[in-house]
Amino acid sequence: MKNFSPKPWTLPQPVLILGTYDKEGTPNAMNAAWGGTWDTNEVMISLGSHATTENLDLQGAFTLAFATVDTLVASDYVGIVSAKKEPNKIAKTGWNVVKSEHVNAPIFTNFPLTLECKVKETLNRDQSGYMLIGEIVNIVCQENFLSTDGLPDIEKMGIICYNPIHHEYIQLGKKVGQAFHDGEQLK
Ligand SMILES: Cc1cc2nc3c(=O)[nH]c(=O)nc-3n(C[C@H](O)[C@H](O)[C@H](O)COP(=O)(O)O)c2cc1C
């Protein structure tokens, strides 16, 4: 086996699109791969210092969408350009924006699935950023991405993951098993 020095290589990583409003109510979005589940109704994201973190401090709310093949180019764009330098950042993505009905944050309707969140707390805050803990208050899924049982069908969505080893986006594949079930055969 080959050894590597410590790196954030948890695989796969989500490609999260964090939506916020600035002080004028202008929508912004950034890409975040260092995030995931914190607790039953909570998410965590490790954040540097961004226009987004200023918005989070101001509004106490955000949305979290899951990037897809169809939104890939603009999802990467919002991860390499800051609203601090590009005031027309969201216009350049071409994304359609509506205000969340549950939190003071924008929903980009180009994404199939979006979590609407309130800032619960921030941890390890210093000049370089903080760990954001968010409470999920609602989830919206576009109707055409629901399966026959009425739940979101992630196989339909073309969701992408981030590969931190080669800095690539990889499309989520097909179902290969049933959780909490397939292991039963070894009991
Ligand atoms: C694939 C990818 C993953 C990223 N993950 C994170 C992350 O987890 N945390 C973070 O603070 N920044 C992350 N970034 C960088 C921000 O998205 C980037 O600095 C962005 O321009 C901030 O925008 P803003 O200043 O308009 O808020 C990531 C960028 C890319 C392309």
Q: Which atom of ligand 1 is closest in space to residue 54's alpha carbon?
A: 27
Give mean pLDDT, residues 149-165.
97
Q: Which atom of ligand 1 is closest in space to residue 129's alpha carbon?
A: 11
Give mean pLDDT, residues 67-88.
98
pLDDT for residue 150: 98
Radius of gyration of the chain (CA): 17
Tell me, in angstroms, the distance from the centre of ligand 1 to residue 32's CA: 5
pLDDT for residue 138: 98
17: Cβ below 6 Å to ligand 1?
A: no
| Backbone phi and psi for residue 27, each to the nearest 5 degrees, phi listed first | -70, 145
Cβ–Cβ < 8 Å for 15, 162 = yes
**CA proximity to 59, closest of 123, 116, 110:** 116
32 CB-side CA count, 13 A: 25
Q: Tens of pLDDT along 27-68? A: 999 999 999 999 999 999 999 999 999 999 999 999 999 999
34: Cβ below 6 Å to ligand 1?
A: yes
Q: Tens of pLDDT along 5-20? A: 999 999 999 999 999 9
82-to-18, 31, 33, 51 alpha-carbon distances in Å: 13, 10, 16, 7
Q: Domains of the chain, with CATH numbers? A: 13-186 (2.30.110.10)
Q: Which of 7, 21, 30, 58 to mutate to test the pocket of ligand 1 (most atoms within 8 A of CB)?
A: 30
Q: What percent of the chain has pLDDT over 90?
A: 99
Tell me, in angstroms, the distance from the centre of ligand 1 to residue 53's CA: 11
Give mean pLDDT, residues 113-142.
98
pLDDT for residue 166: 97
Which residue's alpha carbon is nearest to atom 29 within ligand 1? 79
Q: Which atom of ligand 1 is closest in space to residue 80's alpha carbon?
A: 21
Query: Cα-Cα-Cα-Cα dihedral of 109, 65, 85, 132, to 10°?
Result: 140
Q: Chain-wide mean pLDDT for the chain?
A: 97
Type of residue found at 15: V
Tell whether pTM > 0.95.
yes
Q: Which atom of ligand 1 is closest in space to residue 79's alpha carbon?
A: 17
Tell me, in angstroms, the distance from the centre of ligand 1 to residue 55's CA: 14
Give mean pLDDT, residues 119-124.
98
Cβ-based neighbour number of residue 56 at 10 Å = 23
Tell me, in angstroms, the distance from the centre of ligand 1 to residue 17's CA: 9
